[in-house]
Chain A
Amino acid sequence: GESVGLHLPTLSVQEGDNSIINCAYSNSASDYFIWYKQESGKGPQFIIDIRSNMDKRQGQRVTVLLNKTVKHLSLQIAATQPGDSAVYFCAENRNGDNFNKFYFGSGTKLNVKP
């Protein structure tokens, strides 16, 4: 079932350290994934995406890993900065959805300590 609740899991890291944020998805028909960053008072902002025919994709300071066997997605942020503090969501698009309907995960709050 879906997980709902008022308390987001929080990851606290020291500035300069690497961060790893995890996401599990349940639908094997999902074939496209996006990581979004949401800062306080703002809408979700695209960070990086990955298609199901890949298991790794790198961007600037970010890497997304996809493990379809266990339906797991991770976001790695290198040299985390205070500006990275935000809530991070994974979102999945399911094969056969003709329009961009995304299913969002519950989110993880990243807290970067200076």
Chain B
Amino acid sequence: EPEVTQTPSHQVTQMGQEVILRCVPISNHLYFYWYRQILGQKVEFLVSFYNNEISEKSEIFDDQFSVERPDGSNFTLKIRSTKLEDSAMYFCASSDRAGANYGYTFGSGTRLTVV
């Protein structure tokens, strides 16, 4: 079964440092997403991406965050200057179509720890 692959599985970084979280979506998917889950809390939407641009973003996704699809296979989330409160699991997801009534496939996540 096709999978969404995320690397690394765990990243520790110092506050103020830049981090890049990497995702390889399912190959024929066209819609890409990042969600995050702070420990013990809900999974929260960050951003959706289609046709090489952001489709929608949440209030969490401020100017410290950016996404990029640098080539035909990778989809990255960059946090420019990490804060302690950025510590969370970050999940990438992809789907082959948009609109309501379609779920998508999540990756296993990257645990980001900011110290």
Contacts and interface: CB of A to CB of B under 8 A. Distances in A.
Please indicate whether A and B come from the same complex rather than being unrelated chains: yes
Nearest to A46: B103
Tell me the dominant secondary structure on chain A's binding face: loop
A22 to B, nearest CB: 16
Interface string B1-21: 000100000000000000000
Interface string A68-106: 000000000000000000000101010101111111111
B101 interface: yes
Contacts of A103: 45
B75 interface: no
Contacts of B106: 43-45
A34 interface: yes
B107 A32 contact: no
B48 interface: yes
Interface in B19-47: 31, 33, 39-45
B98 A100 contact: yes
The size bracket of the interface on A is 20 to 34
24 contacts: A4-B41, A5-B41, A7-B40, A32-B100, A32-B101, A34-B103, A42-B109, A43-B93, A51-B101, A89-B42, A91-B43, A95-B100, A97-B100, A99-B56, A99-B99, A100-B98, A100-B100, A100-B102, A101-B33, A102-B45, A102-B103, A104-B42, A104-B43, A106-B41
Interface of B: 4, 31, 33, 39-45, 48, 50, 55-56, 91, 93, 95, 98-109
